[in-house]
Amino acid sequence: MRRISKRASQYLRDELLNRQRFIALEVNAQRKIVSVNRSTPEWKLPGLNRGSELPESLSSLVEAAFGADEPSVFHYVEVGDFIVDVHVIADATPANVVLHDVTKAHAIEQALQQKAHDNSLLSDQLKALNQELSELNQELVLRRRQAEKASNAKSRFIASMSHEFRSPIASIMGYADRLHTDFPDSEHPAALQRASWHLLTLVENLLEQARDGDDTVQLNPTRFSLGNLAKDIRALFLVQAGMKELDFAVNLSPGDMDVELDELRLRQILINLVSNALRYTQKGRVNVRLHHGDDTLLIEVEDTGLGIAEEDLETIFEPFTHVGGGNTTGTGLGLTITRQLVKRMDGKLKVASEPGVGSKFTVSIPCKQVSDSEDQLPPLQGSVLWVDDDQDILSLYEVLLTEWGLQVHTAGSLSQARTMMQRHACPVVVSDMHLTDGNGLDLLRCFKDEHPKLQAIVISGSGVSALGPGSSVGGVRAFLQKPIDPDLLYRELAAAFKASVNAV
């Protein structure tokens, strides 16, 4: 047998023989196999026997590689059930042919290729899904903007309508008040007033809902009699309770007294709770208790109505919600608004209920009793800066405040106000909110930084609700609305000067 060349020998050692399972053949010029060597005796390929003719599939490869200086390699050649790499060294005769079993490697490679293909498909699908997701997100953003726009429009509409309702109701109340003065013995004007309060509450409920958690809306505390309030609530609902033959009582303890709270909001809370109790009570009683003690007003509204299941105790405070099988003619806003109002008044609202037995709503609101001695306000003394771009307003209040004993400085613009403040360092500043050259709130905030003890009062022509969400009201002790009630202005100024003296 002819020895293979040194280079071929080196190649066989380095590239082939170190691998497992191969068959080495020597093939003569007639393409007959002259010798067969197997790395693994049991591995046999069909037609590869000494003396037999090289199968056509291999013969063509030898033919192609014949005479080449370098070994030729043919990958993944199918021989019988196997896949082999065929190495042909045919620079001399006989040619050497080595078949290396790569069946497993080929299968793995095919599996990898399949996987890569699958991955490519998945990647395409993922891209398509991402694109779809991105489009959906854009659509979502668009829809959300549209929804927000619609919601804002709705809120503006409700607020505007509620505002329009207020004026005629206030007018009705005013005339009812005049009638009551003219005909003190008649019950009709008082009934008219109570019904107006009720109507006003419904309008205020809508307005509250439109504000939707706008915490910048300020309360308007005034002095009023709890006794009168209790009487009004009793009279307002007496007929309704009588129609259902319910026992209905409103009790006040320890007795009549004046307190300082936002009377409208307090009435709103009571009307909401009592009308709710009457709506869901078909027999038995509805009791309302008002008690003042420890600087807290406690309100309890207890009924023997349908009661509320435990799982509904939170749901009842959601807007437009009716639970149980009772009459559902209400707007479904009463309890939602009540909770918002109680929270705004720094109070707490609790509910205890048992289905079929009844419910008890308890509200506690911090408030002080106001006595006549406390109501005597001290004379005003000190200097005040009044900022307004309306000369008519400046003239009027300069005269009035001077008459009240104050030293009044006026400014018609932000820059004038700054100059006056530098010159006089007034402890109290009153400013219109919307000035021609800027915002009164910003001015007061700026002054407050320079003069921490400063007491600031803001006047607005368009209502405190015009502050809007996000407006900071920090450092402002009071908001007054034009036209300014002189009594209220006097009280606020007195309180402001007192606070400026006490400020640390």
Binding site for another protein (CB under 8 A): 156, 160, 163, 167, 389-390, 392-393, 395-396, 399-400, 403-404, 432, 434, 436, 459, 461-462, 466, 482-484, 486-487, 490
Q: Pull the structure tokens for residue 392.
A: 């008519």
Question: Minimum Å distance from CB 211 to another protein?
Answer: 16
Q: Which is nearer to another protein, 134 or 436 (CB)?
A: 436
* C-alpha to C-alpha distance for 457 and 437, rounded to whole angstroms: 19
Q: Are 229 and 262 in contact (CB under 8 A)?
A: no
Question: Minimum Å distance from CB 280 to another protein?
Answer: 39
What is the full DSSP assignment across 269-289?
HHHHHHHHHHHT--SSEEEEE
Q: Pull the structure tokens for residue 266.
A: 């307090």
Amino acid identity of 408? V
User: Under DSSP, is residue 137 helix (H, G, I), strand (E, B) or coil?
Assistant: helix
Q: Which is nearer to another protein, 38 or 434 (CB)?
A: 434
Q: Which is nearer to another protein, 326 or 463 (CB)?
A: 463
Buried b (16+ CB within 10 A) or exposed e, 38-77: bbeeeeebeebeeeeebbeebeebbeebbeeeebeebeee
Q: Pull the structure tokens for residue 287.
A: 């009791």
Helical residues (DSSP H) of 369-413, grouped into ranges: 372-375, 391-403
Q: Pull the structure tokens for residue 72.
A: 């030729």
Residue 382 backbone class (left: φ over 0; alpha: ψ -120 to 50; beta: rest): left
* Listed residue (491, 487, 423) closest to 457, CA to CA: 491
Question: Minimum Å distance from CB 493 to another protein?
Answer: 11
Question: Minimum Å distance from CB 487 to another protein?
Answer: 4
Helices 334-344 and 263-279 cross at an angle (nearest 10°) of 150
Q: Pull the structure tokens for residue 403.
A: 């008459």
Counting DSSP H helices and E strands in the chain, the numbers are 12, 19
Question: Minimum Å distance from CB 440 to another protein?
Answer: 12
Q: Are 34 and 27 in contact (CB under 8 A)?
A: yes
Q: Which is nearer to another protein, 11 or 397 (CB)?
A: 397
* C-alpha to C-alpha distance for 74 and 330, rounded to whole angstroms: 89
Question: Minimum Å distance from CB 427 to another protein?
Answer: 22
Q: Which is nearer to another protein, 441 or 454 (CB)?
A: 441
Q: Which is nearer to another protein, 360 or 434 (CB)?
A: 434
Q: Which residues contact 53 (CB under 8 A, 6 or more apart)?
A: 30, 31, 32, 33, 59
Question: Minimum Å distance from CB 460 to another protein?
Answer: 9
Across the strands, what pairs with 95?
27
* C-alpha to C-alpha distance for 259 and 374, rounded to whole angstroms: 11
CA distances from residue 487 to 178, 491, 494 in whole angstroms, order as listed: 21, 6, 11
Question: Minimum Å distance from CB 165 to another protein?
Answer: 14
* C-alpha to C-alpha distance for 86 and 74, rounded to whole angstroms: 5
Q: Which is nearer to another protein, 262 or 432 (CB)?
A: 432
Q: Pull the structure tokens for residue 205.
A: 């409920």
Give the DSSP H/E element, type plus range, for residue 312: none
Question: Minimum Å distance from CB 368 to another protein?
Answer: 21
Question: Minimum Å distance from CB 392 to another protein?
Answer: 4
Question: Minimum Å distance from CB 435 to another protein?
Answer: 11
Question: Minimum Å distance from CB 470 to another protein?
Answer: 17
